[in-house]
Amino acid sequence: MTIETTGMEARQIQIHQSGLEHVKNAHQLTETAFNQLIGAIQSLQVAVPSWALGTGGTRFGRFPEGGEPRNLEEKIEDVGLLRKLTQATNSVSLHIPWDIPKDIAAIQQLLSSQGLTIDSVNYNTFQDQPGQPLSYKFGSLCHTDNAIRKQAVDHNIEVVEHGKLLNSKVLTVWLADGSNFPGQHHFRRAFSRTQDSLRQIYEAMPNDWTMLIEYKPYEPSFYSMVIPDWGTSFQLSQGCGDRAHVLVDLGHHLPNTNIEQIVARLLHFGRLGGFHFNGSQYGDDDLTTGAIKPYQLFLIFHELAMGAADATVKNPAVAYMIDASHNLKDPLEDLINSLENIRTAYAKALLVDVKALGEAQQQNDVVACEQILQRAFLADVRPLVAEARMRNEGVFDPLESFRSQKVRAGLISRRGKKSVATGL
C-alpha cells in the first residue's frame, strides 16, 4: 500500500517553524545542541511486536474492526507502513509459534523492501500447541518433571534457530510459570530448576546473542510467579552469564511501584537489557504507552538519558520494544500513539538541565530539583518530534495521514472485514 508522505500546508509549516523557535529560545538551545537533540530523537527506534497488529480483546470480549494482517507477510507490511509514517520503528519482534516464517528468502526480501529487521524472538510455553506431547499446565522451565523442562528448553533452542535464519540476535524469555495456591510450589526448588533450564538455553545460544529475562508479578498465575520481580530476573541473568539481562515491561509492576528507580538500579548494575513499553492504570493492561502515566514515562527516559551521558555507567545497548494489545483503538493508530508518546517522553528528558539538577541535588534544594524536571516535562516538544520524523522522510502528522489516506479502509478492502491476526 503506497503512503503519501509529502505535502504540508503553508499554515502547518509556519506553526511548525514557530514551535521549533519557541523550544530553542525557551531552552537556550544553540543550533548545534538543537541538531544534536533532533539526531538523538531520530536514533530512538522502537521495535513493534508482531502479536499486536490485530485487535486483542480481553477474556470478556473482542471487537475487531477488520483488515487485520492474516500472516507474517502482512504483519511486516503493517510495520513497514508504521515506519514510513513515523520513522520511529525499524524492526519487528516475533513470537514463535504465532509467527513461524515459512519462506525465509521471501520474508528477508520483504523485510529489506520495508526497511525492517527482526529485533527479538519470543518463545511461548504459556500455551500448549496442538500435538504437543507434554503439557505446560503446571509450568515449563520450572516444571518438576525433567521431561517437560527438556521440552521447554528444546522449544527455546528451536526459537533461536528460527531467529538465526532471520538475523535476530535476541531471545526474550517470559515465563508464565507460577502457582495459584500456597503450598503448590517449593519456591527455592522452582527457582533452581528455572536457573538450570535458563543456563542450558543460554549455553545453546550463539555467543553473539543476548537473552532478555522478563519479570511479571502475576497473571496467568495468581499466587506466585517464578520470575515476579526485577531482583529475581537480575539474579537469573547473573546466573546465566554476561549476555543475559533484565527486560522491564512497564505493565509488570504492582501498583505504585517506582519503575524509574528500578531502571536506575539496573543501569547501575549494568544489567538493563530492554523495555516492553505500554500503559497501565492497574495491572498488565497493555494500553497505549504514556497514555495513563506520561510523567512516569518521562522520569524513566530521564534515568536513561542520564545513564547514557554518564561514562561510569557500563550498561549494554538497551532494546526498546512496544508490547501492547488493542481492544478499542485501531491497532495501527494505537501503535502510532505509542511511538509518538515514547519519542515525546525522550525529547522532554533530553531538555532536562542535568548540570543544574546535579547542583540542586547537592544543595538538597528539593523545590529547585522538582522545578528543573517539570520545566522539561512541561515543554511542548511536538515540533521537535515532528522535525526529527520529517528529516527522515516521515510525515508531519502520522495519525492525520493514516486517517486522511483511509489506510484502514484500504486494508479492509484487501483483507476483508473478518480477517483475524494471530497474537494477543
The answer to whether 331 touches 55, Cβ cutoff 8 Å, is yes
Distance of closest approach, residue 251 Cβ to Mn ion, in angstroms = 7
Among 169, 253, 276, 326, binds Mn ion (CB under 5 A): 276
Beta-carbon contacts of residue 278 (< 8 Å; ≥ 6 apart): 249, 250, 251, 285, 286, 287, 288, 289, 322, 323, 324, 338
And the C-alpha cell for 154?
528444546
Show the site string, 192-231: x = touches ligand LRH by CB under 6 A, - = not.
----------------------x-x---------------
Distance of closest approach, residue 216 Cβ to ligand LRH, in angstroms = 6
Decide which of ligand LRH, Mn ion, none touches 284; Cβ closer than 5 to 8 Å per partner kind: ligand LRH
Q: Which stretch binds Mn ion (CB under 5 A): 19-27, 183-191, 285-293, 316-324?
A: 316-324
157, 158, 164, 165: CA torsion to nearest 10: 170
Show the site string, 241-270: x = touches Mn ion by CB under 5 A, - = not.
--------x---------------------
Distance of closest approach, residue 86 Cβ to ligand LRH, in angstroms = 22
**Judged by CB under 6 A, how many residues of this single chain contact ligand LRH?**
10
Q: How many helices (H) and strands (E) does the chain have?
A: 15, 10
| SS3 per residue for 357-380 | HHHHHHCCCHHHHHHHHHHHHCCC
Q: Is 68 in the site for ligand LRH (CB under 6 A)?
A: no
Amino acid at 360: A
Distance of closest approach, residue 95 Cβ to ligand LRH, in angstroms = 6
Distance, CA of 121 to CA of 134 (rounded, Å): 23
Of all residues in this chain, which one has the CB nearest to ligand LRH in the complex?
174
- Residue 328 burial by CB count (10 A; 0-12/13-18/19+): exposed, middle or buried? exposed
Distance, CA of 420 to CA of 83 (rounded, Å): 22
Decide which of Mn ion, ligand LRH, none touches 424; Cβ closer than 5 to 8 Å per partner kind: ligand LRH
Amino acid at 70: R
Distance of closest approach, residue 366 Cβ to ligand LRH, in angstroms = 36
What DSSP string describes 144-196? SSHHHHHHHHHHHHHHHHHHHHTT--EEEEE---EESSTTS--HHHHHHHHHH
Show the site string, 4-43: x = touches ligand LRH by CB under 6 A, - = not.
----------------------------------------
Distance of closest approach, residue 175 Cβ to Mn ion, in angstroms = 11
Amino acid at 344: T
Q: Is 284 in the site for ligand LRH (CB under 6 A)?
A: yes
Show the site string, 382-421: x = touches ligand LRH by CB under 6 A, - = not.
----------------------------------------
Nearest to 119 by CA among 359, 356, 320: 320
Q: Is 249 in the site for ligand LRH (CB under 6 A)?
A: yes
**Nearer Cβ to ligand LRH (303/323):** 323
**Nearer Cβ to Mn ion (264/424):** 424
The answer to whether 313 touches 307, Cβ cutoff 8 Å, is yes
Q: Which stretch binds Mn ion (CB under 5 A): 85-93, 146-154, 237-245, 271-279?
A: 271-279
Binding to ligand LRH (CB under 6 A): which residues in 295-324? 323
Among 83, 84, 276, 348, binds ligand LRH (CB under 6 A): 276
Distance, CA of 164 to CA of 173 (rounded, Å): 16
Binding site for Mn ion (CB under 5 A): 249, 276, 323
Binding site for ligand LRH (CB under 6 A): 51, 122, 174, 214, 216, 249, 276, 284, 323, 424
